[in-house]
Chain A
Amino acid sequence: MSLWVDKYRPNTLAKLDFHLEQGERLQKMVTKGNFPHLLIYGPPGAGKKTRVSALLRELYGPGVEKLRMEHQNFTTPSNKKIEVMTIASNYHIEVNPNDAGIYDRIVIQEMIKNIAQTQQLDIGGQREFKVVILTEVDKLTKDAQHALRRTMEKYMTTCRLILCANSTSKIIAPLQSRCLAIRVPAPSQDDIIKVLQMVSKKEGITLPADFAIRLAEKSERNLRRALLMLEACKVQQYPFNIKQEIVEPDWEVYLRETGQKMVSEQSPKALLEVRGRIYELLSHCIAPEMIIKKLLKEILKNCDGQLKAEITSMAAYYEHRLCLGNKVIFHIEAFVAKFMAIYKRFLEESFANI
């Protein structure tokens, strides 16, 4: 009785809907018995977590689905207490070290070592190792990543690590080399349409093909989104109309409007208005990188071809600076101003030519 995303999530490797070949390989890896550390990466909504949980089930059987949540407490050297939530079954534990913020190193060092050092008691179990799943590894601090290196080698006999990340670029090379990297690419549009059709069939609703295509396009190859959109649209209006408006998250609409404002007016006043909107977005916990990304997308839509390269490189530059700095608003605004300057100059020049 949950969202369709959760309801129709395949729980075994065999039931996967796409990337079937990869699924087979994973299956083989499990049966062969020589299970390495894994680094699973790919864009959001591609099915990383689905694969991980299917893999676990393949390894340990249905017992792995009996989950419990635990809170673990750590004390930092500066005597600050931090609490990290873990999700665990008898066979594995999942943790997001980012919950500890800049103290993620301590979580890695203490908790993982603890888990790794203890042997699996259940001799009847299929595997002699436990699995530790670390999510959002690309957001770990460098310290924490380095802390992970030795642990991974030392406790190979008792524990395997599965690291989940969006991109490998922020993971240090030593970690990458210790893991078997598995890329889960975003599903193709066809895959998404297939899944959408399958779900609507199971739900007993009719999904026109055109509408499915529209949904798939709109979802930007993010299956989670596609399913959520489908469900939301179904709640909004059923039977589906091909022209029907697809539900969008507010923040995306808001960002799109912001982008349009940037294109329509270039002045300090417009800058001030855009700033207000960016503050609003930031206060709604939208990641600053996401803001720049979506803004760029919106701008590029309205922008002349010859400017696209320049603006994109600007966006990349400011996104990078943003990661290096403290106050994201400075950098986002710098990007906005830069775009406005470029765009304004371009407009004036093209007018002059006419």
Chain B
Amino acid sequence: MDDEFPDPDEEYEMRYADEFEMMNEFDFEEDSAPILPKGNDKKVKKSLNFNDGSNDSSRPNSSMSGHAVASSDSRSNSRMSGHANLTSDEAGRKRMQDEVFGSLSDDEELCGKGSNPSKKSRNDDILLDKCTTHTIPDMYEEPRAYRAPRPKRYVFRLVPEEPHQCVTTHTGQKLFIRLKSEESLRQREIDLNSKSVGKLLKVSVASLKLQMHNETRSKSMLVSEEAFERRLRELEKTEYKIKGTTVDDMGNNSKNKSTDSWMDLYRPKNYLDLLSEENVNRTLLHWLKLWDKAVFNREVKIRAPKIDENVKPKWAQEQKSAGARGRFDNNKKFEHKKKFFNKNTDGELKEELDPSGRPIQKIVLISGPPGLGKTTLAHVVAKHAGYFPVEMNASDDRNVEAFKLQIEAATQMRSVIGANPLPNCLIIDEIDGAPAASINFLVNTVTQEGAQNKENNQAAKKKKKKGINIVSRPVICICNDLYTPSLRPLRQAALVLQFPPTNPNRLAQRLLSISKEQDIQVDMTTMLALCEKAEYDIRSCLATLYFLKAHGRPLRYSDVMNLNIGHKDSHKSLFQVWQEIFHIPRQKRNQYIGANEPEGMLPLAPDVDRPLAPNAGNNASMPARFANILHAVHSCGEYDRLMQGVFENYPTIKFKDSYLNAVCTGLDWVCYFDHVNHFIQVNQNYCVFGYLPYAFIALHFQLAAVLSQKIKYPTAQTELKAKQGKNESIVSTMLQDLKPNVRITNSKETIIQDIIPFSLPIITPSLRPVSAQLYSAEEKEQILRVIGVMISYNLTFRQEKSIDGVYRYCLEPDVEQVANFEIVNVQRKSLTYSVKQMLAREIELEKLRQYESNLGPVTTPTVTIEEIEEPKVIKPPPNAAMTLALKPKPIAESCKPATDFFGRPLKTPPKKKNADGSIAKTAQNDVWYHFKEGYSNAVRRNVKMEDFI
């Protein structure tokens, strides 16, 4: 519409060129019209009050209060007729103009209106036209060219040379209205009066007009004066020099700047502009330079790392690996940060190149919180090293297919079009959001082809590798959270660069220079505060600064402090929050939060803080700390683990508490927390969830110390869980196989508390470490009892191979673990290996015996006792003895075939008989069984289990 408009307008102007001339004449006349200037002035002021634009269509309304009322009926009539007289063509045009200029500011319109007093209908029409033509030049530059003779104007956008009045419309536009000299005014008035005295009205129209005039004027003057004054005051406050810069220029300026944000405007253009840590920049650049051989076919200079930094030129320092200290940092704080940084850089840049001439680490992974300039760094460094950065970010499709395509496109191709075909450098931004499959693919392409290269062992000629899918361009990945699970493979393969926070001084310096450029008055401390508030996020700083600029006042420290924006809703790590909870802030830190925090922010502030409210001005005041901790805890969210950490760490904190009162109160809060948590978990009712963070605040006030302490990650609870679970499973396995008659009288608790602790000494009688045969009857009885107890409580010994390869017997289930504590003064008895072995065997046998007795014909218990005792006497020999006994077997066999098949030296009399009998039988038989080697009188026969035991 706007674009179309000028054409008909031009046409129109050409058509009515002669009328224009006439109009100009009129203009001259009207300039000297008596009432005009006043009316003009007045109307302008009124328009400030009546904010609805009084364009043509709304004129009747505006005339209610305007001087138009005063104009006679004839005037309105003439106006009507004027309208009627319009040709259809003109009418249509006029409407269109009305529509177009619906939003015209009143002032321009007034220029036309001012000429209303003339009574000729034609004049009226011309006026309308003139009104439109008048306005056009203001809005559009082009038509101006057509109007060679510029009519005299009353309203200006630029500061006129004549005496003028400055006004501002409701839209904020500044205009200047020319003032007339008093004399001319008076003269015109008289002229008019003399012309129109005494025709139809008793009082002359002019006097009526004057009356009206005065009334409305005084009214509107009052109002507008006030507004004007206010505005002026504001203007004066801002120290803009309005006189110097024209209104138009201002508008243009702001327009230009708003199109591209400050972020783009002040983005570092070259390497030296970078704000980020020098080390990171250098490492990245150096890594990129390592690609030179593969990409540009230039020799990479690899320097020995032990070059003296002072002697060597700058590049030598660049060669130093990520651990290199920059030489710019003098202050200790910075140094400290460096150490921190070094520790965190888990990837050391490897200098060597692989056979294909590329660095060993083919990917760089830059990580760090948002707004530190990671992306910018990547771009700048890539450009600096002579690459064309190809960026790929979360806005792109990143499934495996797309990823593959992109990687191939970026790393294996070269832009042909363009004057300066630079090699690509692929920058994958926001990679932590990419699907794991894509990342795996990326890592695979990089590592796998590395392996291929080794196989080929070819020199780094690109031509040879054409068939192979190879990444021959550097790839820079950028992420916020280094420990996203999907990044794990990449982390291992890539050179990891962690972005330390920007140096506040440098950042503030930069912001200061920006604000100077933008005419914001601000000082260094304010800037530092802003940086701190934005947590050194450059982007956030700039955005906040931009916002503050809109105020149009010099920035003060308190402005930044009071600002509600600029706070980042970032996630804090557990350790950060613990650190904050256990640390009493120094005077200077965090002062902005508490001191000026609006009251509404702390709806639940406990009464504890009230008495200290006068202290609010203090930086480390209670409300400040309160809000700070609350914020920190909120931003972490893992209340349960937080509490565990607080609980496990507080005794190591050196807080002042000689009577342990703080500890007691603190622990009561911990208990409170536990209750609330329990309630939430049991009832699944989260309405009290909001109260949990307040426990931390209380803990902070009780347990914080000035000295910060190293905080350990809480593990005790999980360890406890694991151990407890293990012990519980031991007890439950024991319970499961307990004999019913024992089980019925024992609950789990009694087993743990009484039975196991007491039965352990019971089953470890003091036995002499001698051969089993040598035991006295008493000792044998003891052993029997042990076996009995162990069987009834389902215990046995099991052979186990310990880590150092030693065999030992331990209880199964291992109730020792449940019952035994590390008590200093208690020496525990334990059975020897051989005794345990023997016991284990006997227990097995006893179990078998009992099982058989359950199955077979009922054997009286007395018999079994006899049986037990008999083997006791007979075969205590442990395994070792048996193996020894095997050796003399052949000899014994040959000389005495009647001995036992197993070559046992001793035998129960009944059994021996039995065996003897059978052997005698076989001896008499003619059938002999020959085995592969040697001779055996082994015979197949039915043997009962009890014969062996």
Contact = CB atoms under 8 A, between A and B. Distances in A.
A229 B667 CA distance: 39
Nearest to A44: B750
- A contact residues, range: 35 or more
B647 A228 contact: no
Given A249-B819, A279-B720, A330-B667, A225 B782 contact: no
B674 A331 contact: yes
B142 interface: no
Contacts of B651: 268-269, 271-272, 275
A183 interface: no
B929 interface: no
B792 A6 contact: yes
A1 to B, nearest CB: 3
Contact of B744 (A87, A136, A251, A338): A87
Interface string A272-301: 100100011111111100100000000000
B740 interface: yes
A156 interface: no
Interface string B765-791: 110000000000000001011011101
B674 A327 contact: yes
A320 to B, nearest CB: 11
Nearest to A345: B659
Interface stretch (A25-33, A62-70, A74-82): A62-70
A136 B747 contact: yes
Contacts of A321: 671, 675
Interface in B12-53: none
Contact of A268 (B650, B670, B736): B650
Q: Which of A251, A282, A290, A324 has the most CB of B within 10 A?
A: A251
- B contact residues, range: 35 or more
A251 B674 contact: no
Contact of A249 (B653, B717, B741, B758): B758
A152 interface: no
A266 interface: yes
A247 interface: yes
B687 interface: no
Given A1-B788, A228-B754, A272-B651, A283 B720 contact: yes
Contact of A65 (B741, B755, B793): B741
Given A254-B823, A324-B678, A3 B762 contact: yes
Contacts of A225: 754, 758
A344 interface: yes
Contact of B664 (A45, A94, A287, A338): A338
Contacts of A282: 720, 724
Contacts of A287: 749, 753
A72 interface: no
B792 A2 contact: yes
Contact of B671 (A251, A284, A330): A330
B898 to A, nearest CB: 36
A165 to B, nearest CB: 11
A50 interface: yes
B82 interface: no
Interface string A242-258: 00000111111110010
Contact of A286 (B660, B752, B788): B752
A85 interface: yes
Interface in B819-872: 819-823, 826
Contacts of B742: 2, 6
A285 B727 contact: yes
A284 B792 contact: no
Q: Which of A224, A235, A247 has the most CB of B within 10 A?
A: A235
Contacts of B681: 326
B663 interface: yes
B741 A250 contact: no
B675 to A, nearest CB: 5
A87 B753 contact: no
B674 A326 contact: yes
A231 B727 contact: no
B784 A331 contact: no
B667 A1 contact: no
B743 interface: yes
B755 A228 contact: yes
B628 interface: no
Contacts of A252: 757
B747 A135 contact: yes
A96 interface: yes
Interface string B700-723: 000000000000000011011001
Minimum-distance CB pairs A-B, first 8? A1-B788, A249-B757, A67-B740, A283-B723, A228-B758, A334-B667, A2-B792, A268-B651
Given A44-B750, A68-B740, A324-B675, 10 more contacts: A2-B788, A2-B789, A5-B745, A235-B762, A283-B724, A286-B753, A326-B681, A327-B717, A333-B667, A348-B659
30 contacts: A1-B787, A1-B789, A45-B754, A53-B745, A69-B740, A87-B744, A228-B758, A231-B762, A232-B759, A235-B762, A235-B782, A247-B761, A249-B757, A253-B826, A254-B823, A268-B660, A271-B651, A275-B716, A279-B720, A280-B821, A284-B752, A285-B727, A286-B753, A325-B674, A325-B675, A326-B681, A330-B674, A334-B670, A337-B664, A341-B664
